[in-house]
Amino acid sequence: MLVRYDLIDFRLLVHIAEAKSLTRAAERCHLSVPSVSLRIRQLEENLGVRLLQRQARGVELTQAGRIIERRALRILRELACMHDELAPFADGLYGEIRFMATTVAMATFVPEALALFLRQHPKVTVHMEEMNSVEILSATAGNRIDLGIVAHRSDDPAIAYASLCKDDLLVMLPAHADLDAHENLAFEALLKSQEFVGFGRLSALDGFLDDVATRLGKRRIVRAQVHELEALIGMVALDVGVAIIPRSLAYRVTHDRRVCMRPLSNDWASREISLCWPSTEELPGYVAALRGALTQAATATHLPVM
């Protein structure tokens, strides 16, 4: 049986998997929604399998669709590597990078790195998403992204890492707090004696802290959830609760005399920020260039490169 499909079908399936929407996938591929629906229907008929299933919030790939998506990503990455090797012989080659990073990385050095990289590579497009470390590691192991930034590592051999910087967790307290009583701040002690202010469950860090508290058989009492660091500082200064933030954000707090910062003493509070990428795949040279830009930007923010 002759099965007909092309690279547009592959790219389309990858975009549907990422966006969980035919409309957004159509926009990314510069196609109309009816054209996308027709392509998917023809692909299903040619392959003899169902590729999509509708959910309450969009569409999801079926198990068969996931298999094709995984293979499609490898084919598209191989094609990108071929273009990269041809770069010395041709001008005007285009490329795409699928990139994920944590909320804190997005709020600190990532924008500067991307600005530098995109100026130097005007024909490379970066598809960027903000995710927590668990989601990023899963996407990396599944070859669904080219590059990620995570706050912790897994032991999955399908993932390669490069240390980027340290970003320890600190406790923000009111300036009038009894500092002698807070010389050695352990998370367990804070759970017993303090209430908290945070960025909410949508924050990867707050979700992580709640998971740690659950493993300890306790619950973190969150009195207020805010969306901006300035609001967080104000809540802590007014004794609403204490907050735990990464050192990479603390430089924006040091000038505010209403609050003070103290280290969190737990071992897991010493966080290593790492770049990650699929270890089993050859990546185009411009992905390495983005890694370099991210490292340079992390250095410029005065976070220690390891």
Answer with the residue of higher pLDDT: 113 or 177.
Answer: 113
Give CATH 3.40.190.10 domain extents, the chain.
169-269
Confidence of residue 181 (pLDDT cuts 50, 70, 90): low
Query: Which tens digit of pLDDT belongs to each residue from 232-266?
Result: 999 999 999 999 998 888 777 777 889 988 999 99
95-101 and 58-61 beta bridge pairing: unpaired
Give the DSSP letter string of 171-202. EEEETTS-GGGGSSB-HHHHHHH--EEES-TT
The CA distances from residue 7 to 39, 77, 111, 284, 290, in Å, are 12, 12, 31, 18, 25
Query: Which tens digit of pLDDT belongs to each residue from 69-102?
Result: 888 888 888 887 777 766 654 554 578 899 999 8
What pLDDT is stored for residue 132 in this prediction? Answer: 84
Query: Which tens digit of pLDDT belongs to each residue from 24-68?
Result: 888 888 888 888 888 888 888 888 888 888 877 788 888 888 888
From the centroid of its chain, how far is CA 56?
24
Fold classification of 1-93 is: Arc Repressor Mutant, subunit A (1.10.10)
What pLDDT is stored for residue 305 in this prediction? Answer: 44
Q: How many whole angstroms separate alpha carbon 235 and alpha carbon 243?
A: 9
CATH of domain 169-269: 3.40.190.10
What pLDDT is stored for residue 303 in this prediction? Answer: 53
Query: Which tens digit of pLDDT belongs to each residue from 131-178?
Result: 888 889 999 998 889 999 998 888 899 999 998 888 889 999 998 887
Q: Quick one: tokens of 16? A: 């549907």
Give CATH 1.10.10.10 domain extents, the chain.
1-93
Structural element, H or E, at residue 19: helix 7-19
pTM tops 0.75, yes or no? no
